Structure 1
Amino acid sequence: MRVAILALLCLVGACASAPSAGTGPGGDTLDAIARDYVALTLEIGEREPGYVDAYYGPAEWQAAAHADPRTVPQLIQGAATLTERLNAVSVAGAEPAVRQRKAYLLAHVSAASARLRMLSGEKMSFADEAEALFGIRPELRPLSSFDPVLAEIDALIPGPGALTDRVTGFRSHYVIPRDRLQGVMDAAIAECRARTARHITLPADENFTLAFVGDKPWSGYNYYQGNSRSKIEINADFPIYTERAIDLGCHEGYPGHHVYNALLEQTFVRRRGWVEMSVYPLFSPMSFVAEGSANYGIDLAFPGDEAARFEREVLFPLAGLDPATAAKKARLGALIRRLGRAEYTIADDYLSGRVGREESIERLMKYSLADRAKATQRLRFIDTYRSYIINYGLGRDVVQAWVERQGPDHWRGMETLLSSQILPVDLD
């Protein structure tokens, strides 16, 4: 069966493109290695549900992986073999895109190998795991370093009782009523799209569907379907604030995950026939770029006070909310954002076993200023995705710095990133 599967992959993949520049011993090519990388990724997905975040290549490849997936030890060996083959391919004299393609494949096979070792029982520290999977090492700051930010928030939201309770009470005035959620989200996503489309030419047939769901460890998720289509799901179990409607519209949609995946498909799969981009392994350097660009996309689409103004002029009326303290809300949001990396230290202590579950929830309540239910959900996310959390705050900051180094037209830099195989190591 294994021979038949590989034969099928080669047969289907042969139609994708002519061999790229760069060959190895026996005429091995990046195209051939890319096909085997897709097979490896799909088979890992059979061993770990959720590992494949998106796939829009030939259905036959997915069926083959499902019918006869290798064992984890065999997949570890398969990743090692792919690394050897990649290292043997010469890209001397090739165009820069081909040289980057080799680097991209090497980085993603390395991440796949690390994830497979984790599935087989290998333990890594939080920072080691993040670097092995996502290609960048996070700084773990002492929690006390975030206390001055808490002091600023305490001064902004004074009064009796715990700071978390005061912040939760203040923010409760900006919860979108459930019966108005659809209209507010539709308006936010439409504005995110309009602002993005003024700067980035979107595929003509791009579109998405939106659904509200529950019982998830995340607040929003984009399931890319291929052919420039996405299914966006929003977790409605917890309160959704007006600013979060903008965040989700940009992050999951425009210029975030939906645009990123659509541009990758258009640039690499449709135009070049580079099949490795038809699969998105969640635990890979691709996620650092995806989450970082999706979060930076919020600031790019709504610079300065434009998000607060759009909330005040459009979203508050749609939600039936009073904008009287909107300026204070915006200031609070900026301060809470500065607390974001505290959860890296909290996750490190929790996942290593140094700090227990209940104390970790208390720490999340303190340093994210979330109520117990929301902090518990966040710990559920950490249980599920572990070091993936670095991709949001650290990813945003690294992407922002890179884009803004490219020149004054930040949208042009963003489009370059979203249409590339640029790796985290290239951004830092």
Structure 2
Amino acid sequence: MKKASIWMLSLAVCIACTQPEEPPTMDNIAEQYVKLMLEIGQYNADFVDAYYGPEEWRPDSKADSLPADDFISRANNLISQIQSVEGDKDRKFMLVKQLIAARTKVEMMNGKVYSFDEESKLLYDAEPPSFPESYFDSLLVDLEKVLPGEGKLADRYNEFVNQFIIPKDRLDTVFQTAIAEARKRTMSRYDLPENENFLLEYVTDKSWSGYNYYQGNSQSLIQINTDLPIKISRAIDLACHEGYPGHHVFNALLEQNLVNGKGWKEYSVYPLFSPQSLIAEGSANYGIDVAFPGEERVNYEKEVLFPLAGLDASLADTYYEVQGLIGKLSYAGNEAARKYLNDEISREEAADWLVKYQLNESERTLQRTRFFDQYRSYVINYNLGKDLVANYVESQGGTADNPEKRWEVFKELLSNPNTASTIK
């Protein structure tokens, strides 16, 4: 009996050894992906922007140094698995792009250097345009016509726009009012969870002007940086960008539609340096135009926000004409980042470029170069992202004269897997 028992045990072990492994599934891959992102995030504080998945998936320990080879190997293995399984092609395509970005970021954390354009392609699935200096010079000529006078154009510009700074004691009132209006306009179009909400905080010593930390369960923490004076135009900008129909709505819709609706757990983690960010930032910027199309924004600000801030609304039209021209110079910031990060110019030269072509004050150029250091090619997500989102929405019929369709296409974009190469 004893020999038979040993033989039976050996047979069982042998059979177990020859049993084929369970084939991978997209749900299993998604779980491995989430855990990998969370582990990478232990070595870079900015890497994981949001997580609201199972608590037991969080890592409980970390190595003393970055295990780059292990992370890269696991990312490559998951990419191979994705390509071998059946599943939603859009889901698979997006997850592969996210893993390529994660692999690239680990390589960079481990010391590998990519050019600005290579980094943009690998991290954000996008090819940023490049403009000659003469292009920005031509835009400055238009500004000269609107702001005539003596002295440097940057000085004249800042003297003019500094008339529109929100007094600190009115800042919260103006922002709360702007957010409430943006929320009202968005909620009239979208059926968001009843419990959706946000907490607004004012912070200092940051390289950015505003940030949304999505908490899950349709909750956000929105922070506004008050290091530098805030102008009236930033109220609607930040209300829409960080809140409605920007980051807060984007994350709430992904959670509602993909995580809860379809069970796609990979969307319970948001790795910042990934293609998801181009859609997130681009849609957040374009969302301003969706919520406040045409003259509606200027009219609302003149009638409501200017009086709340104690500002002279008679200059509002000129102010927004100037801001429109400044907006066309946004790609000058990308050029400064490209040259600076490619070691073609120094920090001081990058700051001078920003003063000349974005008319920044010296304090703001310091904040901007700090952003380049911390987030690198992430800068492309704001303007290139907006342009790609705008072109996509309008190509689907969501034009300015068809606001219903614009809201509809915009929601579809926010609620589904999308990356730069899928919306071209």
Structure-2 separation of matches of 1:90 and 1:274: 14
SS at match of 1:201: coil
> Which amino acid counterpart does residue 410 of structure 1 have in structure 2?
R
1:77 aligns with 2:68: no
> Which amino acid counterpart does residue 286 of structure 2 have in structure 1?
Y
1:272 aligns with 2:262: yes
1:414 aligns with 2:410: yes
> Which amino acid counterpart does residue 33 of structure 2 have in structure 1?
Y
SS at match of 1:231: strand
Match in the other structure for 1:94: none
Structure-2 separation of matches of 1:62 and 1:236: 33
1:297 aligns with 2:279: no
Which 10-residue stretch deviates more, 67-76 or 338-347? 67-76
Aligned residues of 1:251 and 1:257 also touching (Cα < 8 A): yes
- Equivalent residues in 2 for 1:113-128 (5 A)? 113-128=103-118
SS at match of 1:47: coil
Match in the other structure for 1:107: 97
* 1:65/1:340 CA distance change after superposition, 3 Å: farther
Match in the other structure for 1:349: 339
Match in the other structure for 1:35: 31
Match of 2:195 among 189, 205, 230: 205
CA drift at 1:201: 1.4
Structure-2 separation of matches of 1:203 and 1:68: 42
* 1:69/1:264 CA distance change after superposition, 3 Å: farther
CA drift at 1:68: 9.6
* 1:211/1:230 CA distance change after superposition, 3 Å: same
SS at match of 1:225: strand
> Which amino acid counterpart does residue 199 of structure 2 have in structure 1?
T
Match of 1:286 among 260, 276, 284: 276
Match in the other structure for 1:257: 247
Structure-2 separation of matches of 1:51 and 1:405: 33
CA drift at 1:69: 9.3
Q: What are the superposed Cα offsets for residues 311-355 of structure 1, whole Å, 9 maximum, x if unpaired?
A: 110001100111121111010011000000112111111111111
* 1:90/1:273 CA distance change after superposition, 3 Å: closer
Match in the other structure for 1:164: 154
Match in the other structure for 2:231: 241
Aligned residues of 1:43 and 1:70 also touching (Cα < 8 A): no
Q: What are the superposed Cα offsets for residues 215-265 of structure 1, whole Å, 9 maximum, x if unpaired?
A: 000000000000000000000111111111000000000000000000101
> Which amino acid counterpart does residue 296 of structure 1 have in structure 2?
Y
- Equivalent residues in 2 for 1:353-364 (5 A)? 353-364=343-354
SS at match of 1:325: helix
Which 10-residue stretch deviates more, 253-262 or 25-34? 25-34
CA drift at 1:67: 8.4
Match in the other structure for 1:185: 175
Match of 1:386 among 365, 373, 376: 376
CA drift at 1:26: 3.8
Match in the other structure for 2:392: 402
SS at match of 1:237: coil
* 1:407/1:65 CA distance change after superposition, 3 Å: farther
> Which amino acid counterpart does residue 43 of structure 1 have in structure 2?
E
Match in the other structure for 2:206: 216
CA drift at 1:42: 0.4
SS at match of 1:422: coil
Match in the other structure for 2:140: 150
SS at match of 2:409: helix
Structure-2 separation of matches of 1:343 and 1:393: 10
Q: What are the superposed Cα offsets for residues 79-111 of structure 1, whole Å, 9 maximum, x if unpaired?
A: 1111111122134xxxxxx12111111111111
SS at match of 1:27: coil
1:56 aligns with 2:52: yes
Structure-2 separation of matches of 1:63 and 1:128: 31
Aligned residues of 1:192 and 1:249 also touching (Cα < 8 A): yes
Structure-1 separation of matches of 2:200 and 2:118: 36
Structure-1 separation of matches of 2:252 and 2:62: 26
Aligned residues of 2:39 and 2:59 also touching (Cα < 8 A): no
CA drift at 1:173: 0.8
> Which amino acid counterpart does residue 265 of structure 2 have in structure 1?
V
Runs of 4+ in 1 over 2 A off after TM superposition: 63-70
Which 10-residue stretch deviates more, 329-338 or 114-123? 114-123
Alignment gaps of 5+ in structure 2: 1-19, 399-404
TM-score, reference length from structure 1: 0.91
Number of aligned residue pairs: give it.
Answer: 399
Aligned residues of 1:203 and 1:263 also touching (Cα < 8 A): no
Aligned residues of 1:292 and 1:394 also touching (Cα < 8 A): yes
Aligned residues of 2:125 and 2:275 also touching (Cα < 8 A): yes
Aligned residues of 1:43 and 1:69 also touching (Cα < 8 A): no
Structure-1 separation of matches of 2:21 and 2:387: 41
Structure-1 separation of matches of 2:209 and 2:406: 27
Match of 1:332 among 322, 333, 342: 322
Aligned residues of 1:25 and 1:88 also touching (Cα < 8 A): no
Match in the other structure for 1:10: none
Match in the other structure for 2:402: none
TM-score, reference length from structure 2: 0.92
Structure-2 separation of matches of 1:120 and 1:90: 33
Q: What are the superposed Cα offsets for residues 155-200 of structure 1, whole Å, 9 maximum, x if unpaired?
A: 1011111111111110011100000000000000011111111211
Match in the other structure for 1:365: 355
Aligned residues of 1:46 and 1:69 also touching (Cα < 8 A): no
SS at match of 1:386: helix
Structure-2 separation of matches of 1:193 and 1:68: 45
Higher Cα radius of gyration: 2
Match in the other structure for 2:131: 141
Q: Structure 1 vs Structure 2: percent identity of aligned residues?
A: 47
Alignment gaps of 5+ in structure 1: 1-23, 92-97
